[in-house]
Structure 1
């Protein structure tokens, strides 16, 4: 198998390091079961694709991906969690007996969607707490299996084109971060910031779905993107930069939540215009926040 994996590497890299990679792989997998060999092979294949795309640990893009990584995990957990939340809200409000409804929901494509969402949530939580060797594969598996289930189930859980594409893009961002940058990417408060994003999205949405906020009937999917916009402003203020990197990172990790907006706010002109206005305002406010932070730090 290792010979096939080595072909994925760029030719120059393969000539320079192919023998060492193959020897290390054989040493690590000697006497190991098939599952372990496949897992090591998959890790090498992912590394080969990153090298072929110029996403090595020293590449300029690695900095962007390291910053995006915890927030891509947060978006993964949030997108999957919102689907579980909406399903649970419908379950408890249905007049159908709980166990009957549960048995129906866990069958067929609906069951695949729910299980995929749960896997994505668990994987993202594990990766954010430093268990990325298990968490990243689980997150990617959850996102991609959710995307496949949406294609099969049609409009049951989102647009059959936009939603799968968006979830696949989010999975790609999670995978693209070089493994040796992942521990660094979740240090220095970044994991906490990503966890705050999850909480700031899920808790208000849960309150709306539970009809605990009488003056709000639905967020039309806009609230999660507003949280990302506010996060970009907060990150820019903290770093004191011009905001381009932070805004770009939030745009990079947003597809799964954008798909949520697309499927719930499509045709709602007022909601779409309000969201566009707020996102445009964030693009203006972020550089101002960075400038304010720089001025405050240089002031005597």
Structure 2
């Protein structure tokens, strides 16, 4: 059946060339989805079209390189953000309970930001990525209100919020992201429970999780440069501290390059077997 209802005005948000090629198809899908529905449904469909148009304009659709990178990196950057939020919350909780001092608790804004970040991680683990993006956006808004939290959360959560909405990260990336979050948080948790004022993990403790995840992802089938860059981007909070000196930088580059090389060699042997 052919519909005569005009196309929604939000189609104008698409670039002209994209609209010329895909506009009629999008308009027809909109008509099919809203035929006989109420105003709320039509507004929701128009909001979805507008969001997709903005992603196309900002090169964040799943078919564009930047969008594919955001989709690949989102699980890892969210894992890093969750690890940081969990580490700060764990340390503050153990200090407050040990010293019976309420002043050790984070400020309310920081605590809510950490909770929203953890909620985003839980949503992602259960496959609810739209909810993960929403809670990540709330955390970013709280930081916009100057909540005193780690500055690393801003770029890490921004990748999650900007990832393409109609796609889901690959299973391999989701699983390795969980491993990254756990391996970077558990040592901090153990140190906090032991009563250490600082984790004292040293350079090796900061680099080992990033090395392991980088090597495993490089060895996995279908690894592309964007997968390597995604892991490195998420590992920045842990590798920038030891890389603060020339010697530390050399060590960081050497061990990450070694992890990449070992993973690549293992991947080649696996494909040849």
TM-score (norm 2): 0.75
Distance in 2 between the 1:23 and 1:247 partners?
41
Q: Distance in 2 between matches of 1:209 and 1:275?
A: 28
Match of residue 135 from structure 1:
132
Deviation at 1:195, TM superposition (A): 1.5
**Offset at 1:24?**
7.1
Secondary structure, counterpart of 2:114 in structure 1: helix
Partner Cα separation in structure 1 for residue 98 and residue 195 of structure 2: 14
Q: 1:237 aligns with which of 199, 219, 226?
A: 219
What is residue 284 of structure 1 aligned with on the other side? 258
Instruction: Give 1:191's aligned residue.
Output: 174
Corresponding residue to 1:175 among 142, 161, 166: 161
Instruction: Kindly tell me the number of residue pairs found equivalent between the two proteins.
Output: 263
User: Structure 1 residues 28 and 65 mapped into 2: Cα distance closer, same or farther (>3 Å)?
Assistant: farther
Aligned pair in 2 of structure 1 residues 283, 199: CA closer, same or farther (>3 Å)? same
How big is each residue's C-alpha offset from its partner over 1:211-239, in whole Å with a ceiling of 9 and x where there is no partner? 2689x853379845542232111111223
Q: 2:232 corresponds to which residue? A: 251
* Structure 1: distance between partners of 2:180 and 2:59: 30
- Structure 1: how far apart are the matches of 2:109 and 2:45? 27
List alignment gaps of at least 5 residues for structure 2. Answer: 1-7
**CA RMSD, Structure 1 to Structure 2 (Å):** 3.8
Displacement after TM superposition at 1:120 (Å): 1.2
> Residues 180 and 137 (structure 1 numbering): CA distance in 2 closer, same or farther, change over 3 Å?
same
Quickly say closer, same or farther: Cα 1:90–1:26, change in 2 above 3 A: farther
Q: Structure 1: which 5+ runs fail to align?
A: none
